[in-house]
């Protein structure tokens, strides 16, 4: 068999919805922010059980200044027990809110910044083998500092979020050396570098369609009734 013979898909190379029948769905655990759900799904001639985290979804913001520096903050992430460098980000936890507004609020709350120019940079699933979480990363440019600076809204590990402006090329190197491994940082930094090399031609408008999230919402795979924001 040749290498070419291993390529046996002749359709388009893009992610597409599937039409497998979910015959039963059970919430095994209901958490503060997300649930653990078991679906009984028929695939071919088999009905199998598949567990996954029903997630709210999230947004992140690559804030790029006029010197092509990225704003990265340092935050403790308890599941991995580490401080991680990452861009401003947050859950989509206000029912029906435009994700762009969520991103703008997170940039104000976590960085004390506002931006005049917004674009969609990249969309991705964080762990599609076990979670429905999908993230949209925006590129924010033409930045200015809010009067009074950062809006303090978080608790515990979100109270103190020290940050650094990192040149984009240096941020790429930090991702490639595994010094930065947060997925929003890695996806966002690498996508911003690619977009810059393409003279920003790959950017999408800030209200570009988000078909993956629309599909998840339509099929009940997103946790939408989260607790009120603190």
Q: Which residues are catalytic?
A: 158
C-alpha 151/C-alpha 132 separation (Å) is 30
What angle is formed at CA 104 by the lines to CA 143 and CA 150, rounded to 5 degrees? 70
Helix, strand, coil percent values for the chain (each to nearest 5): 20, 35, 40
Burial label, 178 (beta-carbon count in 10 A; 0-12, 13-18, 19+): exposed
Q: How large is the angle between the packed helices 168-176 and 183-197, nearest 10 degrees? A: 130
């Amino acid at each position: 068999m040749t290498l070419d013979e291993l390529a046996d898909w002749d359709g388009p190379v893009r992610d597409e919805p599937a039409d497998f029948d979910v015959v039963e769905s059970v919430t095994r655990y209901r958490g503060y922010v997300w649930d653990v759900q078991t679906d009984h799904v028929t695939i071919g001639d088999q009905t199998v059980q598949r567990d996954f985290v029903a997630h709210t979804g999230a947004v992140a913001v690559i804030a790029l200044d006029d010197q092509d520096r990225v704003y990265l903050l340092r935050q403790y992430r308890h599941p991995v027990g580490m401080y991680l460098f990452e861009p401003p980000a947050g859950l989509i936890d206000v029912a029906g809110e435009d994700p762009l507004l969520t991103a703008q609020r997170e940039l104000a709350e976590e960085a004390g910044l506002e931006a005049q120019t917004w674009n969609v940079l990249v969309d991705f699933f964080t762990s599609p083998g076990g979670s429905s979480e999908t993230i949209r990363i925006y590129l924010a440019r033409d930045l200015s500092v809010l009067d009074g600076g950062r809006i303090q809204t978080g608790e515990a590990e979100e109270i103190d979020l020290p940050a650094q402006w990192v040149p984009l090329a240096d941020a790429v190197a930090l991702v490639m050396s595994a010094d930065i491994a947060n997925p929003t940082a890695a996806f966002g930094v690498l996508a911003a570098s690619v977009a810059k090399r393409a003279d920003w031609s790959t950017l999408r408008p800030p209200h570009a369609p988000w078909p993956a999230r629309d599909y998840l919402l339509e099929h009940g795979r997103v946790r939408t009734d989260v607790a009120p924001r603190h």
